[in-house]
Amino acid sequence: MTDEGGARRGSGSGGGGGFSRGSGNGFNLNWDGAWQVQTEISDIGWSAEFAIPFRTIRYPDREDQVWGMNFQRNIRRRNETAYWAPLPRQYNLYRVSLAGQLTGVRAPAGFTGNLQVTPYVVGEMATREREPSLGVQGFGDYGADLKYSVTPGLTLDGTWRTDFAQVEVDEQQINLDRFNLFFPEKRPFFLENAGAFSVANQSSGRNLGQTELFFSRRIGIQDGAQIPIMGGARMSGKVTDSTTVGFLNMQTEQVGTGVNTANNFSVARLRRDLPNRSSIGGLFVNRQGTGSLALGDDYNRTYAFDGRWGIGENGMVQGYMARTETPGRDGRDHAVSVTSQYSSEAWRLGAGYQENGEDFNPEVGYLRRWGGFRKVDFSVYNTTRPDDNPVKYQELTPHMTYTRFWNLDGIMETTFVHLHYDGQFEDSSRAGVSYDIRQEYVFEDFTVSGLTVPAGRWDFEELTYSYSSNRSAPFSAGIRATTAGFFNGNIVTIRPSINARYGETFNLSLSYSRNDIDLPSGSTITNLSSIDIGYNFSPRLYAQTLLQHNDSADLWAVNFRVGWLQDANTGLFFVYNETDGLGDFIPSYAGRSVILKYSYLFDVLD
C-alpha cells in the first residue's frame, strides 16, 4: 500500500494511471484479481479497507483456517516502510516464514469452484510506414479468456485468440555493448502466477551473463512485433501445501509466407518446498515448429533441475543444472549455476559460479551473453546508520562486487570490479560515487551507434557520480554522470531525470540519457529521451502516455492509452500508437494505429 492521502475507491487491475511494471523473480506487481478497496483520512489517521472475494484467492479446503499474511505500507511523506508483522531490516515482504498469522478465518465450507469467462472485441485502424501504398487498413478481432478453479489451490487459465492491445509498450534502450538487451514481460496473461515457472537463478555480482531458462516474451513477440497467438492454456498452483506445479501450452500462428512458422510452446514445472526456505524442482521447455512451413527437426528443448538450501535464518545456497536439445548443435549444451548469500542487518555477502556450454541454446529463454563461458562473482554490501556525523547521513550503503568471465578455452573475456560508496541523507536525498575497473577481450569487431570497436583486449576505468533528491516529495530530480574509458576510446554519459506527482491523480516522469562517444573510428553522440505521464480521473478511469525518442536507432514513438476499468483489468480501452523510423532502418511495426478494445468479466458461478 502507498499512503498518498485522500479518500478513494478502486478495483483490482493491472493498469491505472500509475506506470505498470513487469514481473521479477516470479513476483507480479500487476496482479489483476477481482477486489475492491477504499481509503480515507479520518481522526484516527490514514486507513485502507480491502474487500477480496474468497473466489479470487486460493486457500486449503478445510474448516480450520489459519493464514500466513503480511502487509507493507509505504508512508511517502516520511520515507518510511512499515509491516504488519515486523521484519528485521535485512528482509523484505518476500520472507513469508516471518509473516503474521491470521486466525479465525471463516472461509466458505467445501470447494464450490470458480469459473470466470472474459470475452473481448477489438477494432484497429492502421497504416504501415514500410507499406505506404496500402493506405489505411481496418482490422477486427475477438477472443476470450477463461479461468477455472480445479481445486482450492490449482487454477486452469485458458485463452483463445489472445490479444494484448492495451498493454504498455516497451521502453527504448541504447545498447553500448555487444550483448543482448533485456525487456521485461508486461502481458497480464504471462505475468499471472509467473512464480510457478521461475527457476532458482541469482547473481551475487553485476547482472552480466544473465540466463533465464524460460522467458515468456519468446512466445508471441519477435523483434518487438507481435506474433498472433491462436490460443493456449495454463494449469498452475499448489497440489499440496508444499508442491507447486505449472503447465503451459501456447500455439502461435504462421506469419507471412516463409517469414515465421507457426510454433507450439510447452512448459512443465514442478517444485517441492522443504523446511527453512529450501526446495527442489524440475523444468521442461519445448518449442516445436508446426504448420506447412515447419520441418521435422524444427524444435528446441530445455531440461533443468534446480534447488535451494536455506542455512539458518540468514544463509541461502541455490542453483540449477540444465541442458538444451537443438538439431545441429550436439556439442557442449549444458549450463550450471550455483550462488550463495548471507544476509544480516549490517552485512550482505554473496558468491557464485556459472558455466554455459557453447551449444547451450534455450530458444524459449534469455541469454544476455551467447557462446560458452565460465563466470565467477562475489559481492560485499554493508549497511550502517551512524548516530552522529557532520554530513548528516541517515544511512550508508557502501559495497563492492567482482565479476569475471572466461571462455571455455580459458581466455578472459570480461572482468568487472565495482566499488561504490552510497548514502542517504536525513532529508531522504541520496548521493554516491562509484569507481569501476573493466577489462574486455573482443574477439570480433562490433559496432556501437555506427562506430566500429575492433577486436582486441581493452582495459579501462569508469567514474560515476549520482544524486537524487527525496523521491517521496511531490517533485524530485536526480542526475547520474559517468566519465570513462570506452574500449579503445572514451565516453561521457549524463542521465538526468525528473519525477512529479499530484496526490493519487497525476504522475510525471522525464528521463534523458546522453552518451558522448569518442573512438579512433569516429565520434558520435546518442540521445534517448522519454516522457511518461499518467492521470487518474477516478480509480476506474485513467489516461497514460509514453513519448520516446531514440536518435541512435533513428526512432521516435508515442503510446497513448485511456482505460475505463471494471473488474480484474477488464473494461474499455482506447490506444493510439505511432512509431516512425527516421533513418534507413524501419522496423516492421513502424506506422500509426488506433485501437479500441472492450472486455467484460462474467463470473459464471457467482
* Paired residues of 544 in beta bridges: 534, 561
The one-letter code for the residue type at 91 is Y
Q: What is the pLDDT of residues 501-540, one digit of tens each?
A: 998 899 999 999 999 999 999 999 999 999 999 999 998 8
Give pTM, 2 decimals: 0.86
How far apart are the C-alpha atoms of 252 and 255, rounded to whole Å? 9
- Contact (Cβ atoms closer than 8 angstroms) between residue 25 and residue 200: no
| Helix intervals (H) in 171-263 | 188-191
Cell of 224: 518487438
- Give pLDDT, residue 14: 38
Q: For residue 280, name the pLDDT band (cuts at 50, 70, 90).
A: very high
Q: What is the pLDDT of residues 132-166, one digit of tens each?
A: 767 778 888 999 999 998 887 889 999 999 988 88
The one-letter code for the residue type at 450 is G
Nearest residue to 248 via CA among 167, 168, 364: 364
In this prediction, what percent of the chain has a pLDDT beyond 70? 89
Residue 11 has pLDDT above 70, yes or no: no
Nearest residue to 599 via CA among 163, 65, 180: 163
Q: What is the pLDDT of residues 302-360, one digit of tens each?
A: 999 999 999 998 999 999 999 999 998 988 999 999 999 999 989 999 999 999 999 99
Q: What is the pLDDT of residues 541-587, one digit of tens each?
A: 999 999 999 988 788 899 999 999 988 789 999 999 998 876 666 67
For the chain, the structural domain boundaries read 2-105, 185-378
For 38, 72, 432, 474, 498, the CA distances from 80, given in Å and listed in that order, are 22, 10, 21, 16, 22
**Residues comprising the chain, all counted:** 606
- Contact (Cβ atoms closer than 8 angstroms) between residue 96 and residue 68: yes
- Assign residue 197 a region: left if phi > 0, alpha if psi is -120 to 50, beta otherwise? alpha
Q: What is residue 346's three-state secondary structure?
A: coil
Nearest residue to 543 via CA among 559, 531, 554, 556: 559
- Contact (Cβ atoms closer than 8 angstroms) between residue 594 and residue 576: yes
* Neighbour-count burial of 546, counting CB atoms closer than 10 A to its CB (0-12 exposed, 13-18 middle, 19+ buried): buried
**DSSP structure string for 280-331:** EEEEEEEEEEESTT--TT-EEEEEEEEEEEEETTTEEEEEEEEEEEBTTB-S
The one-letter code for the residue type at 399 is H
Rg (CA), the chain: 25
